[in-house]
Amino acid sequence: MTVEVGVVVVTHDRIDDLRTCLHALGRQTRPPDLVLVVDNASADGSSRMVLNEFPGVAVDTLPRNLGGAGGFAHGLERLMQAGVDYGWLMDDDAIPSPQALERLVASMVHPRAGAPAFVASLVVGEAGVRDQRTRNPPVLKGIRPSDCPPGTYAASYATFVGVLVDLAIARTTWLPMTDFRWLWDDTEYTARLERLSGRGLVCVGHPATLDPISGARMRCAVRNTCWMLKHRRLGSVSARRRAWHVLRMLATKDLRRSDAKLRDVACYAFGFLEALVRVPRRSWPRLDVAPDRRPVRGPAVDPGR
């Protein structure tokens, strides 16, 4: 079975991380068919670097920073317009291991996979051990390991750190919620996809770094988890359980450990109030785009660098 895979890498002012990520993509044993960098209005020359050093990579430079949620929504829509089968999504600080994509695709098309909406990478730290801070998706109860491809387990949601998405399923629902901006956009979106297909999988793993939740990120985390609890068409039941758990953790452990308690308490309160008065907007993918606006295809990256 021949399938085409497009990669979306969302970046903002992290030129060195982006370069490392693109080199890692070039070392894949199963090369991607298309790589698209979505530049969230970087001021450090990221787009220029990609054009100069990675001529096979397409770049979309957004006029303003839409956050990770807006960047992935844009990139997913572009992959759908390009007509590829699967989308591999990651931030610029993700470093996929050389066999990551090969194993993700093999798991996606495996006879025991059950047509999953996504197959996610199990995120590990720099030392190669599972990174507990990422809170990798828990095992989905009710599905035996023997019912999954080897080396995988069933999950109901994932993060945008190396998740492979079936775009045929993605076309049937709206894009990631741009209004989420940061945090929980990936959990909500993948949970929604899993709800449509009935299955998601987790396998493999590659390093990634994480930012602490404080300030503007605290506000986004509180607002977005409250949105998921308030609007039942967002995410899934298991994702909402996790949202409720994280909302309580933010109000207790995270605020207690904060170095700027007054600021973060204000951000928590503001995020809660924002969730009460605002409704996140939905955006369906536009698939009737003119051919000359589709991402450029070609050899993704030079693996020799």
The CATH number of the domain where 22 resides is what? 3.90.550.60
Residue 247 forms part of a structural domain: no
- Residue 77: the pLDDT is 95
Reported as a pLDDT band with limits 50, 70 and 90, residue 223 is: confident
The pLDDT value given to residue 138: 65
pLDDT tens-place string over residues 162-195: 999 999 999 999 999 998 887 889 999 999 999 9
pLDDT of 214 strictly over 80: no
For residue 147, being part of any structural domain is answered with yes
Rounded (10°) CA dihedral 129, 255, 94, 3:
100
155 lies in a domain? yes
State the pLDDT at residue 270.
86
Task: Specify the pLDDT at position 213.
Answer: 56
On whether residue 25 sits in a domain, the answer given is: yes
Report if residue 68 sits inside a domain: yes
The average confidence (pLDDT) of the chain is 83
Distance CA 141, CA 285 (A): 32
Q: Which percentage of the chain shows pLDDT scores above 90?
A: 42
Q: Are residues 174 and 193 in contact, defined by beta-carbon separation less than 8 angstroms?
A: no
Residue 38 lies in a domain: yes
Query: In this structure, is residue 259 part of a structural domain?
Result: no
For the chain, give the DSSP string. ----EEEEEEESS-HHHHHHHHHHHHT-SS--SEEEEEE-S-SSSHHHHHHHH-TTSEEEE-SS--HHHHHHHHHHHHHHHHT-SEEEEEETT----TTHHHHHHHHHH-TTS-S-SEEEE--B-TTSSB-GGG-PPPPPTT--GGGS-TT-EE-S---SSSEEEEHHHHTTSPPP-GGG-SSSHHHHHHHHHHHHHS--EEE---B-------THHHHHHHHHHHHHHH-TTSS-HHHHHHHHHHHHHIIIIIHHH-SSHHHHHHHHHHHHHHHHH--PPP--------GGGSPPPS----TT-
Whether 233 is covered by a domain: the verdict is: no
46-53 and 15-26 are packed helices; what angle lies between their axes, rounded to 10 degrees? 30
Give how many domains the chain has, as a whole number: 1
pLDDT band at 125 (very low <50, low <70, confident <90, very high): low
User: Quick check: 12 pLDDT over 80?
Assistant: yes
Give the pairing type, strands 34-39 and 5-11: parallel
* Residue 259: both structure tokens together: 């170095």
Q: With bands split at pLDDT 50, 70 and 90, how would you rate the model's confidence at 142?
A: low
Looking at per-residue confidence, does 228 or 64 come out higher? 64
Reported as a pLDDT band with limits 50, 70 and 90, residue 272 is confident
C-alpha span between 36 and 18 (Å, rounded): 12
Q: Which pLDDT does position 40 carry in this prediction? A: 95
> Of residues 58 and 270, which shows the higher confidence score?
58
- The average pLDDT across 115-140 equals 67
What's the pLDDT tens digit per position in 29-57?
999 999 999 999 999 999 999 999 999 99
Instruction: Give residue 211's pLDDT.
Output: 52
pTM score over 0.85: no
Could you tell me the residue range of the domain that residue 67 belongs to? 5-211
Residue 141's pLDDT band, with cuts at 50, 70 and 90, is: low
